[in-house]
Amino acid sequence: MLYLLLTPFADTFQVFNLFRYITFRTGGAVVTALIVAFVIGAPLIDWLRSKQGKGQPIREDGPQTHLLTKKGTPTMGGFIILISFGIAALLWGDLANLYVWAVLIVTFGFGAIGFSDDFAKVTKQKTDGLSGRARLMLEGFIAAIGTVLVMYASWSSNPEGIPFGQTFQGAVLSGGDFSSVAMPLFKDVLIPLGPAFLIFAMLVIVGAGNAVNFTDGLDGLAIVPVMIAAATFGFITYLVGNSVFASYLQVNFVPGVGELAPLLGAILGAGLGFLWYNAPPARVFMGDTGSLALGGMLGMTAVAAKHELVLAIVGGLFVMEALSVMIQVAVFKATGKRVFLMAPIHHHFEKLGWQESTVVIRFWIVAVIFAMAGLATLKLR
C-alpha cells in the first residue's frame, strides 16, 4: 500500500524513493509485524483463554508430561501471526503484484481451514477436528487458485512468450511455459510437466501446509524453522526476481517475484513476536490456524519462485516430520508394528527420554543446516 501511495511522489520528495527498494520495504515489514505481534499478543491470548475454557485438547496417547504441562493452554495463537503478517504485508507489499495476491490468498485461505479445524477441536474437546478428506479438498482448491494466479502472473510478465529456460535481458527467464520444473544443482535441466504442473504445484503447497502442521507439537518447535525457511526464501525470491543476480547465479529469472520478500519479512517479524508468547512454557499454541497458513505460504512462495524442489531441502525438517508420520501409518497398517515410538518424530525423541527443550533446540539446529544446504544450491550448479 505504501509502495503504491508514496512512490509516485519520489521524484518530488527524494525520501519516498526508499519505498522503491524491496530491501527497505522488507525491513519495514519485519519491524511492523514484530511491533503489532507484541501489541496484540497478550490481549489476544487472554481473550482466547476466556473463550476456550479448557484450551486445546491434549493427545492421551502422547507423552505423559504434556498432560500436565500443556493442559489448558489456549490454541489458535496463529491469529497473532496472521494479523501481524496481514497488516505488515498490506502496508509494505506491492498490492499491484499478482504474486503477492497469490500468496495472500493461500496464506489466509489455509489459515481459515486451520481455524475451522481448531474451532471443532475446542468446541468438541477432541483431538480430531475436520475430516482429513474435507481438509485436503479445501486445501487443494485454494492451492489451485494460487497456482493459476501465479501462472497468469508469469505469462503476463512475459507476453512475448519466450519459453521457460531461454535468455531474456541477460538472465534465464521463467515465463511463457511456467509448467516446467527446475532441478537444483543442474542449471540446464528442466522437467516439462505440461497440464500436470497444476497437480504438482497443488501437492507442493498442500504438502508444505501439512508438513508444518505435523511439526507443530512442542513449544517453539514449528515457528523457528518456519522463520528460518521464510528468511531463506526471502533471500531466494529477491535474487530470482532480479535479472542481474539471476544471471550471475544462473537461476531462472522470475520477473516480479522479488515482491514476495516483504511478505516473507513480515512472517519473520510476526514469528518473532509470536515466539515471545510461544517460548517454553508456552502461553499459547499456534494451532492449525497458524501452522497450515505458514506451511501453505512457504509452498506457494516456492511455486511462484520456481524453486519447488529447493523447498524440500530448505524445509527438510518439515519433510522429515511428515515422512515419519507416513512411514509410521503405512508400516503399522501393513504389519501392525511401529517404526517409531511415536510419530511425528519429535515425539519419538521425547519417548527416548530427551527433554522437550533439547528436542526443540536440536531440531532448530537441523533446520539451520537444511536452510544452508538449500541456499548452497543457488551457486552449486
In tens, the pLDDT along 84-133 reads: 999 999 999 999 999 999 999 999 999 999 999 888 878 776 656 677 88
Residue 253 has pLDDT above 80, yes or no: yes
Say what the pLDDT of residue 376 is: 94
Q: Greater confidence, 180 or 31?
A: 31
Residue 7 has pLDDT above 90, yes or no: no
Residue 30 has pLDDT above 80, yes or no: yes
Distance CA 314, CA 283 (A): 29
Mean pLDDT rounded to a whole number for the chain: 88
Identity at 319, one-letter amino acid code: V
**CA-angle at 307, arms to 301 and 310, nearest 5°:** 110
Residue 273 has pLDDT above 90, yes or no: yes
Taken in order 38, 42, 48, 51, the sign of the CA dihedral is: negative
Q: If pLDDT is split at 50, 70 and 90, which confidence band does 156 have? A: confident
Say what the pLDDT of residue 60 is: 55
Residue 75 has pLDDT above 80, yes or no: yes
Q: Greater confidence, 340 or 50?
A: 340
- What average pLDDT does range 58-85 have in this prediction? 75
Nearest to 297 by CA among 81, 44, 121: 81
Q: Worst-scoring range by mean pLDDT, 23-37, 175-189, 274-288, 293-307?
A: 175-189
Q: Worst-scoring range by mean pLDDT, 69-83, 138-152, 190-204?
A: 69-83
- C-alpha cell, 104: 495472500
DSSP code, position 344: S
Say what the pLDDT of residue 250 is: 82
- What average pLDDT does range 273-282 have in this prediction? 93
Provide the β-strand partners of residue 190: 182
210's CB contacts (< 8 A; 6+ apart) are 139, 292, 295, 322
Using alpha carbons, list the distances in angstroms from residue 154 to 100, 120, 148, 209, 284.
12, 38, 10, 23, 39
- What average pLDDT does range 30-42 have in this prediction? 97
The three-class DSSP label of residue 314 is: helix
Identity at 334, one-letter amino acid code: A
Residue 263 has pLDDT above 80, yes or no: yes
Provide the β-strand partners of residue 171: 168
| HSE value, Cβ hemisphere, 13 Å, CA-based, for 89 | 28
In tens, the pLDDT along 160-219 reads: 555 555 555 555 555 446 788 888 887 777 888 888 999 999 999 999 999 999 999 899
**CA-angle at 227, arms to 222 and 295, nearest 5°:** 60
- C-alpha cell, 345: 518424530
161's CB contacts (< 8 A; 6+ apart) are 176
The helix (run of H) or strand (run of E) holding residue 299 is helix 287-304
Distance CA 381, CA 369 (A): 19
Using alpha carbons, list the distances in angstroms from residue 334 to 324, 327, 337, 339.
15, 11, 8, 12
Q: 297, 109 in Cβ contact below 8 A?
A: no
Say what the pLDDT of residue 69 is: 60
